[in-house]
Amino acid sequence: MNSLHTTGGRWDCHTHIYGPWQDYPLPEDAVYRPQEAPLTALLEMHRKLGISHGVLVQAACYRTDHAALLDALSHTEGQYKGVALLDGSESDSQLEALHDGGIRGVRLNFMGHLAEAQNLSELGGLAERVGSLGWHVLLHGKLDQVLPVLASWRKLRTTLVIDHMARPDLDLDADIEGLVALRKYLDNEHRWIKLSGVDRMMGGSDKPWFKALPHVRGLLAAAPDRAIWGSDWPHPNIQGDVPSDAKLLEFIETACGDTQTADAVLVHNPRRLYL
């Protein structure tokens, strides 16, 4: 598994935790109800794959209650960071407390059960606020949702990370064209790409993943020093088979193609973004 990597200090930049239920039960109105997936299980998966650092993305089922996330981060000795969900009402002191707890970004959701009424002007103000803390904004949506945001926020200097490669459907000509447009937006030092979600893009089974390789490599080539990777463990709301995290890591190694590129995506780029 470490065939392309010698540096040490690999990162998994997209994971979620759920529970433990005895300490952090889901609210009654949770938008989805996943199986329990505590930090201990995540750390064991990472140990097996040789991953020492990670990013915990706030689960939408917890909404803006970050208690479970912050507790988990407090047990990682600073090797894991977090991405929050905010509603915009947070005070400066609340944002500073999140920062002190290890939060380094906010996720904005534009699709499916995660979507809410979005006002780009208001969200732009939130993006500027968190940018002043050195955080990034994680944009989660499909291509036709993400591209208008990138167009509207061309001058925004806060770092934007495109989540899950903007969830393209490679069977749609419009999405193939959208990936070309997305690559152009990556010609900006404040725009990053997360090379995650190939399992969702191509179906849970790993058999068709390699059909996505040219498109993943195209995004990587557009921003080789601003590309990161995440497993999306424990793969909530996945349709089809739950993917193997080892095979997802192997896929991104293959996409990188050489040790230097793998080190950039798995070690050096995430360190610059999160530390």
Going by the DSSP 8-state scheme, the letter that residue 240 receives in this structure is S
Query: Six-digit token pair at 88?
Result: 């915009």
Identify the residue whose tokens are 């939130």.
126
Residue 232 near residue 13, CB atoms below 8 Å? no
More confident residue, 39 or 204: 39
Instruction: Tell me which DSSP letter residue 41 carries.
Output: H
CATH fold for domain 10-274: TIM Barrel (3.20.20)
The residues pairing with 56 across neighbouring beta strands, listed in sequence order, are 15, 82
Q: For residue 240, what pLDDT band results from cuts at 50, 70 and 90?
A: confident
Distance of CA 60 to the CA centre of its chain: 13
pLDDT tens-digit profile of 114-166? 555 568 888 999 999 999 999 999 999 999 999 999 999 999 999 999 999 99
Quote the CA–CA distance of 191 and 160 in Å, as a whole number.
Answer: 5
Residue 41 has pLDDT above 90, yes or no: yes
Q: Count helices and strands (H / E) in the chain.
A: 11, 8
- Mean pLDDT value across residues 106-114: 80
80-84 vs 103-109, strand pairing mode: parallel
Bridge pairing between strands 191-194 and 51-57: unpaired
Compute the distance between CA of residue 113 and CA of residue 32 in angstroms, rounded to an integer.
Answer: 8
Please name the residue ranges forming H helices in the chain: 39-49, 67-73, 92-100, 120-131, 143-152, 173-185, 198-202, 213-222, 245-256, 259-263, 269-274
Q: What is the rounded average pLDDT of the residues 167-185? A: 96
Asked if residue 191 lies in contact with residue 146, where contact means CB atoms within 8 angstroms, the answer is: no
Q: Is 229 in contact with 199 (CB distance < 8 Å)?
A: no
Going across the sheet that includes 10-15, the strands are 10-15, 51-57, 80-84, 103-109, 136-140, 159-162, 191-194, 227-228
- Residue showing tokens 């990013």: 55
pLDDT, mean of residues 37-44: 99
172 alpha carbon, distance to own chain's centre:
23
CB 152 within 8 A of CB 120: yes
Q: Tell me which residues are annotated as active site.
A: 232
pTM to 2 decimals? Answer: 0.96
Q: How many CB atoms lie within 10 A of CB 244?
A: 15
Q: How many CA atoms lie within 13 A of 275 on its CB side?
A: 15
Reported as a pLDDT band with limits 50, 70 and 90, residue 5 is low
**For residues 183-197, average pLDDT:** 98
Q: pLDDT exceeding 90 applies to what percent of the chain?
A: 88
* Six token digits for residue 1: 């598994």
- Residues 220, 196: Cα–Cα separation, whole Å: 11
